[in-house]
Amino acid sequence: MINLRRETKFILKLRRSMGHCTSLNNGKGKWTVRSGMTSHHAVTTKRHLSIHEYLSINLLRNNKIPCAQGYAAKTPEEAEEKALELQNRCGDIDLVIKAQILSGGRGVGYFKENNFEGGVHICRNSTEVKEVASKMLGNTLVTKQTGEEGKKCNTVFICERFYIRKERYVAFLLDRSSDGIVLLGSSMGGSSIEEISKKNPDAIHKMNIDVQNGFSNGQAREFCEKIGFKNTELDIATDVIANLYKIFKRYDCTLLEINPFSETNDGRVLCCDAKLNFDDNAEYRQKEIFQQRDLSQENAEEVEAKKFNLNYVSLDGNIACMVNGAGLAMATLDLIVLHNGSPCNFLDVGGGATEDEITEALKIINQNAKAKVCFINILGGIMRCDIIARGIIKACKDTAFGKPLIIRLEGTNQDEAEQLLRQSGIKCIFCQDMNVAAQKSVAMANIIETAARVDVQIAFT
């Protein structure tokens, strides 16, 4: 049996995309932060809705959390108008304009089309806001988190500038190691919690919350003292933290992160930036929030797959996989890596997929430029192999499927399925052995990549 290797890069990315889970260990008395791992026996493509900063700020303000006043804008002209409105409302203040993409590290990113540096800028007046907005809107912001492809900026957030005396970090999140909610904080804010953990693990504080007993003002005050609040600011911060917990519960959040959680020169305590994630399982009772989902910020293949009830996660390799059952899918990915290959997706069609859903799955794979080969690995128990075969045939006819197919079909109606595929004239390689099929997939992908590097045209007949 193949041992599933958790250290593999694609597994880490897969698990990150399945949901936000952070475990905290205190080996040798120090807190460290690491990404959580999903059990191999319960792997599902779980996504958690993430909304833009300006929407998160609006939600917090509507729940009486002290935040920056600001407006969203989708054109340079609207940004100028909102900047004027904000200065008229708040006085002659400096302004901050922030590119709205679903990624961290915006301040040190750059825009791909015009090389404009930084997704966060301080402006003195509405004219400067309009100028900066024109360089952000409609362009692609690249950060450490987005990778080279970046994310398109369609909205900017214009807010008042604060003069900060002290920045802190606060987050509520679901913690699998304790099967509950954890409050995480640090007296060092402004940078990511991972960076804080590396630089100074002792600066991170954690408090487990028993959801049955709730979160008291006494606990909130104790935590605020740990992260350095004193005097009047301690009273204010205590109330804010207690209310943030109520928001976390009320809106079915999986993550509520305030960074920085700031103390200003004039003694105010403010949430200067916010990141909120919401449990997809709660969509039925958080409909207003889920209507704010920005599909343009999500992976196009994953969005398309979701329309057809397909469990799809995009990865970074060059071998596409279509498998039924999460366990078999994970084993398939590991086999590919074992043979020095690299999967470009996780695709579980499940046990009840229809012919049309199989067709749509292959259409998505066919549109993926990274995919050089498609490995179809089906164990026909509930899922009938002949349905898979008919879906393959339909997809190849409808889309001029142009990628080599390595197919393993075992189980219900496998002989009928193979006969259908052979009679269709579709060029494919049949393998009964899963390990051999993985080897051939990797070899085929390597051949195609090598040929492309030396500018040689190849065809498979």
Going by the annotation, the residues of the binding site are: 98, 105-107, 167, 259, 273, 324, 381-383
Catalytic residue among 257, 263, 357, 360: 257
257 is catalytic: yes
358 contacts 383 by C-beta, under 8 angstroms = no
How big is the CA angle at 206 (ends 205 and 208), to the nearest 5 degrees? Answer: 160
User: CA 271 → CA 65, 87, 241, distances in Å?
Assistant: 8, 20, 10
CA 234 to chain centre: 34
Detail the residues annotated as belonging to a binding site for ATP: 98, 105-107, 167
Annotated binding-site members for Mg(2+):
259, 273
Distances (CA, A) of 388 to 55, 331, 376, 414, 416: 42, 20, 9, 10, 11
Max distance between CA atoms of the chain, in angstroms, equals 81
Facing residues of 126 across strands?
none
Q: Is 169 a catalytic residue?
A: yes
Query: Which is the catalytic residue, given 54, 169, 245, 251?
Result: 169
CB 417 within 8 A of CB 389: yes
Q: What residues are labeled active site?
A: 169, 257
